[in-house]
Amino acid sequence: MMLSAARQNPDGPTADVPPRQIQMKPLLSAALSASITLIILIGGLAPSVAAEPSFADFNRRAQAGERLNVVFFGASLTWGANASDPQLTSYRALIGQRLDAAYPKAHFQFWDAAIGGTDSRLGAFRLERDVLRRKPDLVFLDFSANDDISYADPEKLSSYEAIVRRLVQSARVPVVQVIFPFQWNVAQGNTEKMPRRTGHRAIAQAYRTAVGDAIELAQTRVRDQKTTLAELWPVDGVHPCDHGYELFADAAWSAFQDAVTKGLVCKAPDKMIYAATYMTSARARLATMPSLPSGWRAAKPSVSSSLFDMLMSRWLDDEAVASNVAPDRASAKAVAGKPSRQQPAAIRAQFHAGTVMLFGESTSSSGKYRVLVDDKPIKRKAADGSMIDQFDASEFAHRVNGTAYLVQIVAEGLDPDATHELRIEPTFADNADQELRLESICVAGGKADVKLLESIESESKINQP
Could you read off the pLDDT of 160-193 as tens digits, one per residue?
999 999 999 999 999 999 999 999 999 999 999 9
107-139 CB burial, b ≥16 within 10 A, e <16 = ebebbbbbbbbbbbbbbbbbbbbbbbbbbbbbb
Q: How far apart are CA 56 and CA 262, in angstroms?
A: 8
Q: Judge whether residue 36 has pLDDT over 50.
A: no
Q: How far apart are CA 270 and CA 247, in angstroms?
A: 35
Q: Judge whether residue 30 has pLDDT over 80.
A: no
Q: Judge whether residue 43 has pLDDT over 80.
A: no
Q: Please spell the DSSP secondary structure of 291-349, one letter per residue.
A: ---TTEEEEPPPS--SSGGG-GGGT-S-EEEEESB-TTTTTS--BTTBPPEEEPPPEEE
Q: Judge whether residue 137 has pLDDT over 60.
A: yes
Percent of the residues in the chain that have a pLDDT greater than 90, as a whole number: 79
Q: In the chain, what's the furthest Cα-to-Cα distance? A: 78
The pairing of strands 341-343 and 376-377 is unpaired
Residue 380 confidence (pLDDT): 86
Cis peptide before 13 (omega within 30 of 0): no
CB neighbours of residue 442 within 10 Å: 30
Q: Please spell the DSSP secondary structure of 5-70, one letter per residue.
A: -EEEBTTB-----SSTTS--PPBP--------PPP---TT-S----SS-BHHHHHHHHHTT-EEEE
Which DSSP category does 415 fall into?
-
Q: What residues have CB less than 8 Å from 357, skipping those under 6 apart?
A: 28, 29, 121, 122, 125, 407, 408, 409, 410, 441, 442, 443, 444
Q: How far apart are CA 100 and CA 70, in angstroms?
A: 11
The residue-averaged pLDDT of 427-453 equals 94
Rounded to a whole number of angstroms, the CA Rg of the chain reads: 23
Residue 339 confidence (pLDDT): 65
- Output the CA angle 276-277-279, nearest 5 degrees: 65
Q: How far apart are CA 180 and CA 80, in angstroms?
A: 12
Which DSSP category does 166 fall into?
I
Q: Judge whether residue 201 has pLDDT over 80.
A: yes
- Virtual CA dihedral for 152, 157, 158, 162, nearest 10 degrees? 180
143-161 CB burial, b ≥16 within 10 A, e <16 = bbbbbbbeebbebbbbbbb
Residue 56 confidence (pLDDT): 97
Q: Judge whether residue 333 has pLDDT over 80.
A: no
Task: Please provide the average confidence, as pLDDT, over all residues in the chain.
Answer: 87
Residue 95 confidence (pLDDT): 98
pLDDT digits (tens, 9 = 90+) for 270-288: 999 999 999 999 999 999 8
Q: Judge whether residue 29 has pLDDT over 60.
A: no
Residue 27: pLDDT band with limits 50, 70, 90? very low
Q: Answer positive or negative: Cα dihedral of 158, 160, 162, 164.
A: negative
Q: Regarding predicted confidence, which is higher, 381 or 256? A: 256
Residue 62 confidence (pLDDT): 98
Among the ranges given (18-32, 117-131, 168-182, 302-316), the one the predictor scored with the smallest mean pLDDT:
18-32
Residue 431: pLDDT band with limits 50, 70, 90? confident
Q: How far apart are CA 15 and CA 441, in angstroms?
A: 17
Decide if 259 contacts 413 (C-beta within 8 A): no
**Helix ranges restricted to H, 181-267:** 183-187, 195-207, 214-223, 229-232, 242-262
Decide if 358 contacts 441 (C-beta within 8 A): yes
Q: Return phi, psi of residue 439, to 5°.
A: -90, -45
Q: Judge whether residue 449 has pLDDT over 80.
A: yes
Q: How far apart are CA 19 and CA 177, in angstroms?
A: 25
Does the pTM exceed 0.85?
A: yes
The residue-averaged pLDDT of 427-431 equals 91
